[in-house]
Chain A
Amino acid sequence: MTSNGTYPIDRIRKDFPILSELVRGKPLVYLDNGASAQKPSAVIDRIGKTYETEYANVHRGVHYMSQKATDAMEAARVKAQAFLNAADEKEIIFVRGATEGINLVASSWGRANLSAGDEIVLSVLEHHSNIVPWQMIAEQTGAVIKVVPIDDSGTFLTEEYEKLLSPRTKIVAVTHVSNALGTIVPVAEVIRLAHAQGALVLLDGCQAVPHIPVDVQALDVDFYVFSGHKLYGPSGIGVLYGKEALLEAMPPYQGGGEMIDRVTFEKTTYADLPFKFEAGTPHIAGIIALGAAIDYLNGIGFEAIAAHEHDLLEYATERLVAMNSVNIVGTASEKAAILSFNINDVHPHDVGTILDYDGIAVRTGHHCAQPVMDRFDVAATVRASFGLYNTREEVDALVDGIKRVREMFA
């Protein structure tokens, strides 16, 4: 059954070979998209095609295959540029993932621009990857970290955020969508207020890009990062977007091949953007396949994906709320398709193991967001995160699985 008559759910599910795998004889019900999404044939095949027909090192050789691989990789950069609506393809830096993107900015921009007493603003919602790199640079520079609180629903408190901003604020680094709770942060307002104080903004877009169209120019955001593997692309590849003027002014992050202009032992000059930040041979096939993932998503259309996932979230929320034993953690009014919850007296790990026995894959634990867990005074939660190929029937399977947990722990 489809959530609306026109969403081609049957065809979409056929695009993902893993969805026809059985788990202990039962169909895989994959509700762990927030951790990593499955891959459509278009992406899987693109990796094979790259290695079979157009592979060599990029930006190196004069030979045919090198040129072909370079063209395919640079075409993917243009796709990523269009995907984020960046002004220029030079503003798209390929990195290993969002984690590397954040480390790059914290390290390169941070070392050049932060000094003792400067302030970095984060929020309670952050994934550890948007906390630890800032703590590391704060330790090196003497900068101070300020943390925006959330309320009991998991909503980002914009008024509290505004109070934390000051002329000392140099950068605000917050998530676009909370990975643990699904909360959508009011990023346009976050950016406007930061810019009014002269601070830059980095957004962690990992959980946003699979669900929401992102326009970095309309947002006027300074840095935006996301990981390919959550966007139905390969793991080990991600994107850092940065405004050209900022990237130009930043020192390189890693030294090596590809990022240089001229090397002598006396002095090295660096390559132009984006290559200044892409030292070493990149994940060529991964970049090309990420381009294929973007094409695939565009083929379905973000409006259709968002509507489908919103329906799943509403349906799942409604069904879980109706279960007395389930407590939903994170009930912000603006949410992406992530449902974090606990079952009375049953530890999430036990829930996860029992659901897994029915082929239902959920994430259990702290979701690399321990400050969020502490905020709600829980050690962990169960998290169901929906993707474009999930169905209402799979929500029903989750509900049945929760009933079995209750029976076992009765």
Chain B
Amino acid sequence: MTVDLRDLYQEIILEHSRKPKNSGVLEEATGEAQGNNPLCGDRVTVYVKLEGDRIADARFEARGCAISVASASMMTEILKGMTVDEAIAAFDRFQTQLTSKEAPELAEDDELAALMGVREFPTRIKCATLPWHTFRAALAGTDENSITTE
């Protein structure tokens, strides 16, 4: 039983939640959005800075659980340096990986593999996807986006 719980709370997740990467305001953001989970009161703000078609920087501020903070931390790491199209593809891929009926096939070096534990905890999938949805809204470029997951 405990083994399964460790699938969710893998060391890499706990590490990211304790010491999140890219946490804090991004002053020179070109886009930002707020995500809100009214079910639990969690909030995340995602900032992106675009240079041309490329994501030069991405940061976040979150008040949330270990899963959502780790997801935001890993997400911002991955997104930096991607083109907008690549980032949208990564968003779509992550969504599919978490919600597909069949267990997803992951590349050996897929850094998001650690988050696949949430597949076994349906009530927690939204915790992992909230930062990503928020990022998607931030990409739209306005600073008044607000998205909600329930």
Contact = CB atoms under 8 A, between A and B. Distances in A.
Interface of A: 24-25, 346-350, 353-354, 357, 364-366, 370, 373, 379-380, 408-409
Nearest to B4: A357
Contact of B40 (A24, A357, A364, A408): A364
Contacts of A380: 40-42
B88 interface: no
A24 B4 CA distance: 11
Given A365-B40, A370-B41, A357 B5 contact: yes
Contact of B41 (A24, A353, A379): A379
Given A364-B40, A365-B41, A349 B5 contact: no
Nearest to A367: B41
Given A349-B127, A350-B9, A350-B67, A25 B40 contact: no
B39 interface: yes
Contacts of A365: 39-41
Interface residues of B, number: 21
Interface in B40-88: 40-43, 63-67
Given A379-B40, A380-B41, A24 B124 contact: no
A346 B66 CA distance: 8
B1 A25 contact: yes
B8 A353 contact: yes
A373 B65 contact: no
A25 B39 CA distance: 28
B43 A379 contact: yes
Contacts of B43: 379
Interface of B: 1-2, 4-5, 8-9, 14, 39-43, 63-67, 121, 123-124, 127
A25 B8 CA distance: 19
A59 B7 CA distance: 57
Contacts of B5: 353-354, 357, 408
Given A25-B1, A357-B5, A366 B40 contact: yes
Contacts of B40: 348-349, 364-366, 379-380
A346 B65 CA distance: 7
A147 B143 CA distance: 32
Contacts of B124: 349, 353
A366 B37 CA distance: 11
B144 to A, nearest CB: 22
Most buried by A among B14, B66, B123, B124: B66
B96 to A, nearest CB: 23
Contact of A24 (B1, B64, B65, B67): B1
Given A357-B1, A408-B5, A350 B65 contact: yes
Given A349-B40, A350-B9, 17 more contacts: A25-B1, A346-B66, A348-B65, A349-B64, A349-B65, A353-B8, A353-B121, A357-B1, A357-B4, A364-B40, A366-B40, A379-B41, A379-B63, A380-B41, A408-B5, A408-B9, A409-B14
Nearest to A378: B41
Most buried by A among B1, B2, B65: B65
B64 A373 contact: no
A379 B69 CA distance: 14
B9 A373 contact: no
Q: Which 4 A-B pairs have the closest CB atoms?
A: A347-B65, A349-B65, A366-B41, A379-B41
A25 B4 CA distance: 14
A187 B1 CA distance: 47
Nearest to B14: A409
A364 B124 CA distance: 12
A379 B124 CA distance: 17
B42 A379 contact: yes
A5 B5 CA distance: 39
Contacts of A409: 9, 14, 66
B107 to A, nearest CB: 27
Contacts of B1: 24-25, 357
A336 to B, nearest CB: 23
Contacts of A373: 41
A322 B19 CA distance: 29
